[in-house]
Structure 1
Amino acid sequence: MHLTFETTDNPDPKDERFIETHLSAFNDADVGASGKRQLSVFVRDGTGTVAAGISGYTAWGWLYVQRLWVSESLRGQRMAGRMLEQAEREAIARGCHGAFIDTFNPSAAKAYLRQGYHPFGALDDFPAGRSRIFLQKRLGEGSGRR
């Protein structure tokens, strides 16, 4: 069999879906169905424009917050914490027992620590001069903020 390798920064979405579908099928057979579901929280201004938001998913009993953004005008008002609380409530309703998030922003890390997240790992120089910090939190009874 002749094989070729293709490296690209512009993959065909169909190929990306192919990999995701086959990896999910493999993982489901290996450890059971993930029950993966998207989870987003949006904060909108009076015109309906997104002013802050969370994008992530729940799977295998965990909430993964992939992206969290707050507009400049809303920073310093506990908006990240309030959105995380919303996402965590929904994750608990979905049967999740934990949540995790990562950041290389020191201010964001402090906000997550205030919400009861605890570091469990870091990658130094990701990006250069910073550390990418990975944090987790137990959800449900007794997991409140410190």
Structure 2
Amino acid sequence: MISRTPRAEKDQTAADLEAHLLADLAQINVQSHNESIVLERRDPAGVLIAGLTADTSYGWVLIKIIWVAQHYRGQGLGRDLMRSAEEHARALGCHAAWLETSNPAAPAFYQSLGYSEFGLLENAPDQTPEDHKRWFMRKTL
């Protein structure tokens, strides 16, 4: 039965499903060290101004979220977060990184860090939202 549940319950169910899937996959696939990476930068008052989340699996690190507050963009925080995540992933045995983005300005940023495109999803002219694209990028560490 499919149910409608509150957000907190959905988040817990999603986490449980991921844990079960990863446990099943670990039994049939050789795994490297799997770990979540969470990096944050805060201003002197303790306000979150930038952060990154990533997960390692099969020798790859997936950069899931990178965000920098508007006022702090262009100051190298994103670049520093990416470098820190890549260093952490290398220390865990990762040989490469990958990510996806739908921000049209982001591919140039990631290319400046050595990432290259390996896939692109884009909506057809009659689909909503019009002109939407999602870039998939990777980098050897």
Band of TM-score, shorter chain:
0.7 to 0.9
Q: Which runs of 4+ in 1 moved over 2 A?
A: 7-22, 32-35, 125-128
Question: What stretches of structure 1 of length at least 5 have no aligned partner?
Answer: 140-146
**Residue matched to 2:138:** 136
Please say if residues 59 and 96 of structure 2, whose CA atoms lie closer than 8 Å, have aligned partners that are also in contact: yes
Report the AA paired with residue 139 of structure 2: K
- After TM superposition, the score normalised by the length of structure 1 is 0.82
**Residue matched to 2:40:** 42
Question: What stretches of structure 2 of length at least 5 have no aligned partner?
Answer: none
**Residue matched to 2:23:** 25
CA distance in 1, matches of 2:129, 2:22: 29
CA deviation map 1:66-95 (0-9, x unaligned): 001011111122321121011111111111
- After TM superposition, the score normalised by the length of structure 2 is 0.84
Please state whether the residue corresponding to 1:42 is helix, strand or coil: strand
CA distance in 2, matches of 1:14, 1:40: 18
Deviation of residue 108 (structure 1)?
1.4
CA distance in 1, matches of 2:19, 2:137: 28
CA deviation map 1:119-141 (0-9, x unaligned): 000110285422100000000xx
CA deviation map 1:9-57 (0-9, x unaligned): 6473554344223211221112123532110221111112110110111
Please state whether the residue corresponding to 1:106 is helix, strand or coil: coil
Report the AA paired with residue 135 of structure 1: M
Instruction: Say how many residue pairs are matched.
Output: 135
**Residue matched to 1:57:** 55
- The CA RMSD over aligned residues, in Å, is 2.0
User: Percent of pairs identical after alignment?
Assistant: 30
